[in-house]
Amino acid sequence: MMWTKIKRVLRSGLTSLMRNSFVSLASVFVMTMTLIIVGSLMFVNALVSDFVSYVRDKVDVNVYFVTNASEQAILDLKTQLEHIPEVASVSYTSRDDALAAFRAKHQNDQLTLQALDELGSNPFGAELSIKAKDPSQYEAIAQFLQDRTTDSSGNPFIDSVNYQQNKTVIDQLQKVTQYVQRFGLGTILIFAAASVLITFNTIRLAIYTAREEISVMRLVGASNMYIRGPFVVEGTLYGLISGVIALLVFFPLSLLLKGPAETLFGADILSYYISHFGLFFLVLLVSGALLGAVSSFLAVRKYLSV
């Protein structure tokens, strides 16, 4: 008996979808645009995340050591830093490497290279470049370094730490990251609310055209759930069809925007879409089905007093 009712509800929903062709097309169009907006926000979130990660990789804290600092003491400090939870990575640049990098950078500046040769010795100290897991953790790392300015023999071996010079950039990066996260979340919520309202009113029109049918069903004693069922099925089908269309639209769209996205953000959105197709498929189809089902359920309940 239950299975018979379910089949009737499904058949009725499919029949209503095909019968009200104009309303169905309008509903599918609105929901497709809604899901395209949802998918676009996924792209934007990925692009922003890549950009923030790119900027984060450019921010670090450098520790400069005195020229007579013991290499073993520097490597010991490097090991200590690597065991700090806040530290993502630590790279070591020896005095010779620092000198070679300086010569390579100024290879066309003969005056500077001549002045360097006249010194007769390497004026550069070794260096540690520290990257934190999060920009907010650089202050703790800087505090850790302040407590270790001397080696095991008590001799000063840290010349300077450029945390204070980079602090403004680090603070701005942290604020930008928080702003982008909040902006992304707020945008998603706004578009989600707008999408529900638009879809709700579009599906309400489809339900309005069947008001006489609903009245007859109520007169013969149909239950509320039995009356809602076909419309929920119809709304779910709208969402699934819209999700498939949105998936198809995103392929040529990502191909078209591939060049500009690489220029502005350094990200290949076509490759991102292909590699994350399963995620897009799940999000868009599930979002579409839920959006259609919930909108249909609410429209029947509120406007037809079922």
User: Which of 59-73, 124-138, 202-216, 280-294 has the weakest average pLDDT?
Assistant: 202-216
Greater pLDDT, 188 or 80: 80
- In which element (H, E) is residue 161 found? strand 158-161
Pair (144, 284) in one structural domain: no
Confidence class for position 245, pLDDT limits 50, 70, 90: very high
Do 11 and 34 lie in one domain? The reply is yes
- Contact at 8 Å (CB) between 130 and 62? yes
Q: What is the pLDDT of residue 247?
A: 92
The position carrying tokens 């692009």 is 47
- Considering the domain architecture, whether residues 39 and 181 belong to the same structural domain is answered as yes
- Same-domain pairing of 82 and 8: no
Would the CA dihedral through 255, 256, 258, 261 be positive or negative? Answer: negative
Total of domains in the chain? 2
62 within domain boundaries? no
Compute CA distances 282 → 114, 202, 221, 278, whole Å.
64, 24, 38, 6
**Residue 14 sits in which domain range?**
2-55+173-303
pLDDT at position 248 is: 92
Q: What pLDDT, in 10s, does the model give residues 34-56?
A: 888 888 878 877 777 777 676 66
The CATH number assigned to the domain holding 124 equals: 3.30.70.3040
Q: Look at residue 13 and tell me whether its pLDDT is greater than 50.
A: no
Average pLDDT, the chain: 77
Same domain, 144 and 26: no
Contacts 24+ apart (CB under 8 A), 78-84: 78/128, 80/148, 81/128, 81/130, 81/141, 81/144, 84/141, 84/144
Q: Which two tokens stand for residue 30?
A: 């609105």
Helix (H) / strand (E) containing 95: helix 95-105
Axis-axis angle for helices 211-219, 163-208 (nearest 10)? 70
Q: Please state, for a pLDDT cut of 90, what percent of the chain lies above it.
A: 3
Distance CA 244, CA 99 (A): 59
